[in-house]
Amino acid sequence: MRRRVMANRTFALLAIGQTCSNTGMWMSMFAVSLAVKTITGSDLQLGLVALVRAAPLIGFSLIGGGLADRMDRRRLLSITQPSAALILAAVAVAFAFGAPQPTIIALLFLATFGIGVVGAFDVPAVQASVPTIVGKDDLVQALGVLVLARQVSTIVAPAIAGLVIGQAGYGVAFGLAAAMYLVFIAILAIIRWPSVPAGVSHRSLAGSILEGVRYAWATPIILGLLVMDFVATAFAQPAAFVIIIGRDILGLEPEQIGLLATAFPLGAIVGGAALSVVSRRIAPTLRTIVISTSVYGLGVVVFALAPSFVIAYGALVTMGLADVLSETLRNARLQLTVPDELRGRVSSLMLIFVRGGPSLGQFRAGALSSAIGPVGSAVSGGVLCVAATVLLGLWLARRLRSTSTAALQATNVTDG
């Protein structure tokens, strides 16, 4: 029996560091949102926070992926992590010294944008490094561990930040968030992994980015999986429906809606933990990816039509499980397909699709809910998710079969 992936010291330390970094990021985002809402009282300002954070993730990810394929990825992370720590430390100092509210608001928006920029460079570097560190046999398990760690951070970080803000204030909360990045900085100082091959050093950054885009466009399995990820999050985004359906359809009290909101991340955590145990029995095949993504879409339909809190909660837990499985398997298939010198750029494309889908999904859900109601919006989104996933799966299967047949024929001609 092969050893578990966490026995790989380099990966284990990288996972711990990434978890700390993610926790610091989610703590800071919670603190920013709460501070903006508290100071301004404006829902519009609160919405702008999400927009300001998403913009650099989408706008700079291709540059981050290009750099991840041009320089040592550990060195790139050694630049991004201190940058994030300094940004949050500046906000902490502003709160500690009682800066005027207009200054605080401006700093909060600047910090949000800055953390988004850091993520655009950070995520491709980490994702592209994992196959090199663990090898293809442990890749599914390793990616499952990272997804699990991220989901844990999304639950733990707001709870910690809220407690610290309530007891010690915003300055301490932002200082603690900055300190979480320092843990990753310390870890990066003691670990090493193989550098990226110098496959694009002769190209300009723009040329190398264009090369990555062309590669993804010309490779059916990559293009198909990226579109599948986008479709799933754009049509079946549970966060867009929990409050509306919980309040307007199920008639839940605020406390019950808050409990309902824990279902999806709980399912994701359980799924990530299970996947880390049985990962060697689950191959990232196209069939498994299509089935898990379809279950995710069906979960939205069941949730929308649920007659009770219990059934709605169970549907969201199932969605969380399916989401972790489908995301991990899609990522593993992409990383196994892409050569190492292109992984950073393809990972950056994946980040754009992953961040763009939920944003579009929340807009689609809200706009359609106002026209046909929340149940109709959710059900139609789930049905479209399943239909698009199955059609993409059939198209990909046909393309992969034709590619394999052509390769076999070429081999026979050569042998002949």
* Contact of 61 with 351, CB cutoff 8 Å: yes
* Cα 258 from Cα 270, distance rounded (Å): 19
Which of the four pLDDT bands, split at 50, 70 and 90, describes residue 366? low
Burial of 44 (0-12, 13-18, 19+ CB in 10 A): exposed
Lowest mean pLDDT among 163-172, 290-299, 350-359: 350-359
Cα separation, 279 vs 141, in Å, equals 5
Residue 302: predicted pLDDT: 94
Q: Tens of pLDDT along 43-64?
A: 567 667 777 887 887 788 888 8
Q: What is the C-alpha to C-alpha distance for residues 210 and 206, in angstroms, rounded to an integer? A: 6
Closest by CA to 114, choosing from 36, 32, 56, is 56
If DSSP codes are grouped into helix, strand and coil, which group holds residue 294?
helix
- What pLDDT is recorded for position 407? 46
Structural domains of the chain sorted by starting position, each given as residue range(s) with its CATH number in brackets: 1-189 (1.20.1250.20), 216-416 (1.20.1250.20)
pLDDT attached to residue 311: 94
| 233, 354 Cβ separation under 8 angstroms | yes
Q: Residues 389, 290: contact at Cβ < 8 Å? A: yes
Radius of gyration of the chain (CA): 22
Answer yes or no: is pLDDT of 195 > 90.
no
Mean pLDDT of 340-347: 77
pLDDT of residue 413: 43
Q: Rounded to an integer, what distance in angstroms lies between the CA atom of residue 361 and that of residue 317?
A: 19
Identify the weakest region by mean pLDDT among 7-16, 33-42, 173-182, 372-381. 33-42
* C-alpha closest to that of 216 among 73, 61, 54, 389: 61
Q: 105: closest CA among 164, 46, 17?
A: 46
Q: Which of 171-180, 297-306, 316-325, 405-414 has the lowest mean pLDDT?
A: 405-414
- Percentage of the chain beyond pLDDT 70 is 86
275-309, pLDDT tens digit by residue?
A: 766 666 677 788 889 999 999 999 999 999 998 89
Is residue 197 over pLDDT 60? Answer: no
User: Given a cut of 80, is residue 318 above it in pLDDT?
Assistant: yes
User: In this model, does residue 91 exceed pLDDT 90?
Assistant: yes
Beta strands in 273-396 (DSSP E): none
User: Hey, which of 46-60, 64-78, 342-356, 401-415 has the most confident mean pLDDT?
Assistant: 64-78
- Which pLDDT value is given to residue 410? 47
Whether 183 has a pLDDT exceeding 90, the answer reads yes
Cα separation, 342 vs 332, whole angstroms: 15
**For 153-157, 196-200, 377-381, which range has the lowest pLDDT when averaged over its residues?**
196-200
User: What average pLDDT does the segment 56-79 reach?
Assistant: 85
Q: What is the pLDDT of residue 184?
A: 93
Determine the pLDDT at residue 198: 47
Residue type, 380: S
**Burial of residue 192, with CB atoms counted within 10 A of its CB: 0-12 exposed, 13-18 middle, 19 or more buried:** exposed
- Asked whether residue 321 carries a pLDDT value surpassing 50, the answer given is yes
- Rounded CA-CA distance 31/150 in Å is 18
Q: How confident is the model at residue 6 (pLDDT cuts 50, 70, 90)?
A: confident
Q: Is this structure's pTM higher than 0.75?
A: no
pLDDT at 2 over 50: no
- Please determine, for residue 131, whether its predicted confidence score (pLDDT) is greater than 90: no
Average pLDDT over residues 234-238: 76
To the nearest whole number, what is the mean pLDDT of the chain?
Answer: 81
Q: Percentages helix, strand, coil for the chain, rounded to the nearest 5?
A: 85, 0, 15
Q: What is residue 359's predicted lDDT score, i.e. its pLDDT? A: 62
Separation of alpha carbons 327 and 147, rounded Å = 8
Instruction: Yes or no: say if 198 and 359 are a contact pair by the CB < 8 Å rule.
Output: no
In this prediction, residue 411 has a pLDDT band, given cuts at 50, 70 and 90, of very low
Percent of the chain with pLDDT strictly greater than 90: 24
Mean pLDDT, residues 98-114:
92
Of the two residues 53 and 177, the one the predictor is more confident about is 177
User: What's residue 394's pLDDT?
Assistant: 92
The span from the first CA to the last CA of the chain, in angstroms, equals 42
- CB burial class (10 A; 0-12, 13-18, 19+) of residue 51? exposed
Question: How many other β-carbons are positioned within 10 Å of the β-carbon of residue 256?
Answer: 15
More reliable by pLDDT, 67 or 259: 67
Q: What is the mean pLDDT of residues 359-382?
A: 76
